[in-house]
Every structure is written in structure tokens, then in C-alpha cells.
A and B are shown apart, each in its own frame.
Chain A
């Protein structure tokens, strides 16, 4: 499927809706949708929205970790039906490194699961460690690393499988601001080098604006896209784009869309708006 300017749709969402069963005696919860979205191949797409709007639910649906109640999600022309398809890599907000394995073995985990030959595992793991600046820490255990480095281990573990679509669920949420900016630069560099499509969930408007080609702004629950904002940034960019004249305008525009929704999510009425 092709879109404007010959862009190719990598992931297509049509009428995607998610309900959760309520507790005994309570009605079911409408968490998300209906959502329509075309995720262009090779783009970096971010999603921002108020707390509880269903951002992570959306990511889990695209990943195949859960199933949409209604609608369809298509990845590379195939419908996703509750199982993670080949070619999708996930990085979670929480530290998902395996504490009993060294950094090297953590990164090799997925390749070993797939039964890749030893030589190929060695080559690809070494490449991923070099790419993520972890070569000197190959024999360290995750507990010996900082939070940012552990997250880099998780990213390396995802990259080593050469995914065509990388889903990042608030991967820098637990990191300090400086580390987050630097990790953002890392993501941009990896995005350029791998050519993968990236779908990033974040609660930080500046991070979404800085990193993305497009930012999907979601409403309070049930989460829907209020607007998809095109940033128009060049592909060769880094965190210094925050000094660009349009950066402030874009973040202000996204916040103007989000403010009312965030108040709703916090339970404030119109008097506060």
C-alpha cells in the first residue's frame, strides 16, 4: 500500500478498538479507538497522550502481544492476530535485561533462541555491542551497569535480530533528562543506520518532537488520534534540533492539543480549563 509522495505503508491500522472486561458487575472498559493509522516504512513515528489513554495498549496491539476487540492491524501485508510477527522488535520501559546473563549473552539471547549458527551469533552480537557502545562491557552483568546502559543492552538485544519494525514503549522513561537526550540521539543514529521503521511511545512532548517525523497526539481514554503532526525535520538530525526555530512552535501546538485531554485524564472539569 502506497501513500502520499510514494511512501509505503509498513503498518496499517483500520478501526482498531480495544475493550477490557470490567471487574465483576461493572461494564467493560473502552480503552482505545477506533483508530486508523498508516505507519510509513522507514519513518520514526511517536505517540504522545495523557496518562491512561491507551498508548501502551496500542503498542501491545501492534506487537501482537494482545488482540484488538474490533478492527484490523496489518504488518507488511499480513494481519496481526495475537502473536508477535517475525520482523518486529520490542523495547520496554522497564529494565528487561536478564540479570543472570552477561551483557554479551543477553544480546545473544534472541539469536540463540532462533538457533542461529555460533559464528553468525558472534558476528552479529559483536556488531550490536559496537553499535551501542557496549563492547567494553560484554562480560559485565546488568547489575554492574547504569540504568541507561541496561536499556542500551535491551536495545542491542532487539537490534541484533535486525527487526524491520522497532516498537519502543517509553524506553527512556526511567532515565534522567541528560541521559534521555543522549539516548534519543542514539535512537536517531540507529534509525538512520538500520533503516527500520520506529514506533515510539513517550510521555515527553519535547522528546517526541525532537525524534519524530510524525507525532500522533492521542485523546484521553478511549484513546483516539486527535491529530498527526508532521515535524518536517531532515533525516540527518540529532537532539540539537531542539534549537530550531520551529521546535517551540511544534511543541506548543502539541501541548495545546494535549492540555485539555490531560486535564480530562486527571479528572478536572471545564472550570480548570
Chain B
């Protein structure tokens, strides 16, 4: 933890010095302290609130729906080996498909609103959840399934009280990926075409050579994603410690 902070702090300090000395031109990048000051100023104006709300509502919707659909789909695919044999090659090559290329199609289908970017983010993240759910279900010890039968548990009770908790560490890995992929999906969609959102503001600053706003927004995203990731990571570590895997 200390080493991680030292490496991060050292990197930031080096960047600060290089920017201040002009080794990195200000036109390319601004010093980290200027990014932080820009972010504070931006947040103080309150002009970002509407965009933050739009982006993080879309991300939360995409993560929530991809986790629910992904876990359920994973359970169904796991229960029907024939379906799994058909879908496995698709899962293996899925991320080679440029999903956001379908964004214009979704705008035509759903209009220029929140739905197309949620759909893109969902499509980005759902397969990660399915694949990790399948990994988790594959590793449920057979003896636990026998134990469930010994307690005369039906398929639903076995699924909810034995199988899913047993597969939880893998499902959490899927959730972590879903958060990252959903954020990529939403921000990149907003960057391409949107009327609001952090991605839209990034695109606006990028096209207007407004480096202060651009890097302030990048810093904001970095802070948000790192915080979310650390919370999920801490949860995952707690579970893994209980499981005896750490």
C-alpha cells in the first residue's frame, strides 16, 4: 500500500516537474496541480452536475442490468450444456467486435437520449459478467451440491443459498469488469454523440483545445473509477479472506 502510494506520488511529482519546466508543452498536458485546481473550479460552478448525473445514472443502470442479466444468463447457459457449446466461441471472441460501431444504429432505433449509451454500455459489460459467472459455477464443489440434495433443497433454494454464494468471488470479478466496461461504453458513446454527460463535456473541451477542462474531467473520472474500484476490491478481498483464498 505504501509502495503503491509512493509510486503514484512519485509519478505525479515527476509529471508536475516536467510540465512546470516545459519539457511537456502546456499545449499537450497541464501540471497535475493545475488539473486539480481546474477540477475544483469546475465543480464549484455547478455546471457539471447535470452531466455527472447523466453519466453516472447511465453507468449505474448499465452495471445493474448487466449484472442481473449476466448472472441469470450465466446460470441458464451453465444449466444447458448444449447452449454453452454453441455460445462459447461467441464469448471467446466477443470483445473483438467494435460494439460502439452500433451506436448510430441505436440512436436511430431509440433516439438521441440515454437509452443508446446504456445499451452500448450494457453490451460491453454483460458478457464479462456471463463469462465470470460461468467460471464461478464451474468451480462450485460437487460436494456442496450433494450436501444440498441431502438437505432436500430444490433447484431454486440450491441456486440461491449454495451455488450463487459459492460462485460469488468470480461473480464479483465480473461486477468489477462490468463497472469498467460500462464506464468505457457510456463515456465513449457520449464522446461520439450526446447532448449531455461527462463524455460530451470531454469531447467539447477536446475539440475546443480547452486543456484545463479536459484534464480536470479526466482527473475526475480517474478519481471516481479508482474509488469505486477500491470499494469493490475491498469487498472482494473480504470474501476471499473468508474463502481462505488470500
Contacts of B165 in A (CB 8 A): 98, 100
A222 adjacent to chain B (CB < 8 Å): no
**Contact, CB under 8 Å: A94 / B243:** no
Of all chain B residues, the one with the shortest Cβ separation from A63 is B150
Residues 176-233 of B at the A interface (beta carbon under 8 Å): none
B152 adjacent to chain A (CB < 8 Å): yes
**Contact, CB under 8 Å: B143 / A83:** no
**Contact, CB under 8 Å: A100 / B153:** no
Q: Which listed residue (B152, B153, B157, B244) contacts A143, Cβ 8 A?
A: B244
Q: Given A113-B157, A141-B242, A142-B244, A98 and B149 touching (CB < 8 A)? A: no
A141 to B244 Cα, complex, angstroms: 9
B19 adjacent to chain A (CB < 8 Å): no
A92 adjacent to chain B (CB < 8 Å): yes
B141 adjacent to chain A (CB < 8 Å): yes
A142 to B141 Cα, complex, angstroms: 15
CB within 8 Å: A-B pair count: 54
A29 adjacent to chain B (CB < 8 Å): no
Contacts of B242 in A (CB 8 A): 99-100, 141, 143
**Contact, CB under 8 Å: B162 / A143:** no
> Distance in Å from the Cβ of B154 to the closest Cβ of chain A?
11
Residues 55-98 of A at the B interface (beta carbon under 8 Å): 63, 65, 83-84, 88-90, 92, 94-96, 98
**Contact, CB under 8 Å: B243 / A99:** yes
**Contact, CB under 8 Å: B243 / A143:** yes
Question: Interface majority SS on B: helix, strand, loop or mixed?
Answer: helix
B26 adjacent to chain A (CB < 8 Å): no
- B141, B150, B153, B165, most chain A CB atoms within 10 A: B150
Residues 228-246 of B at the A interface (beta carbon under 8 Å): 239, 241-245
Contacts of A142 in B (CB 8 A): 244
B146 adjacent to chain A (CB < 8 Å): yes
A195 adjacent to chain B (CB < 8 Å): no
Q: Which listed residue (B144, B152, B244) contacts A98, Cβ 8 A?
A: B144
Contacts of B153 in A (CB 8 A): 113
A110 adjacent to chain B (CB < 8 Å): yes
B27 adjacent to chain A (CB < 8 Å): no
Of all chain B residues, the one with the shortest Cβ separation from A145 is B244
Contacts of B162 in A (CB 8 A): 98
A98 to B148 Cα, complex, angstroms: 11
**Contact, CB under 8 Å: B168 / A100:** yes
Of all chain A residues, the one with the shortest Cβ separation from B144 is A96
A12 to B168 Cα, complex, angstroms: 42
Contact with A along B156-180 (1 / 0, CB 8 A): 0100011001101000000000000
Q: Which listed residue (B152, B166, B245) contacts A83, Cβ 8 A?
A: B152
Contact with B along A4-35 (1 / 0, CB 8 A): 00000000000000000000000000000000
Contact with B along A125-144 (1 / 0, CB 8 A): 00000000000000001111
A100 to B243 Cα, complex, angstroms: 7
A241 to B216 Cα, complex, angstroms: 78
Contacts of A141 in B (CB 8 A): 242, 244
**Contact, CB under 8 Å: B146 / A65:** yes
A239 to B127 Cα, complex, angstroms: 56
Contact with B along A97-121 (1 / 0, CB 8 A): 0111000000001100100000000
Contacts of B168 in A (CB 8 A): 100
Contacts of A94 in B (CB 8 A): 141, 143
Q: Which listed residue (A89, A95, A100, A113) contacts B143, Cβ 8 A?
A: A95
B147 adjacent to chain A (CB < 8 Å): yes
- A65, A89, A90, A99, most chain B CB atoms within 10 A: A99
Q: Given A63-B150, A83-B152, A96 and B243 touching (CB < 8 A)? A: no
Partner-B contacts on A (CB < 8 A)? 63, 65, 83-84, 88-90, 92, 94-96, 98-100, 109-110, 113, 141-144
Partner-A contacts on B (CB < 8 A)? 141, 143-144, 146-147, 149-153, 157, 161-162, 165-166, 168, 239, 241-245
Shortest beta-carbon contacts, A-B, top 6: A143-B244, A94-B143, A90-B150, A141-B242, A96-B147, A99-B243
30 contacts between A and B (CB under 8 A): A63-B150, A65-B146, A84-B149, A84-B152, A88-B150, A90-B146, A90-B150, A92-B147, A94-B143, A95-B143, A96-B147, A98-B144, A98-B162, A98-B166, A99-B166, A99-B242, A100-B168, A100-B239, A100-B242, A109-B151, A110-B151, A113-B151, A113-B157, A113-B161, A141-B244, A142-B244, A143-B242, A143-B243, A143-B245, A144-B244
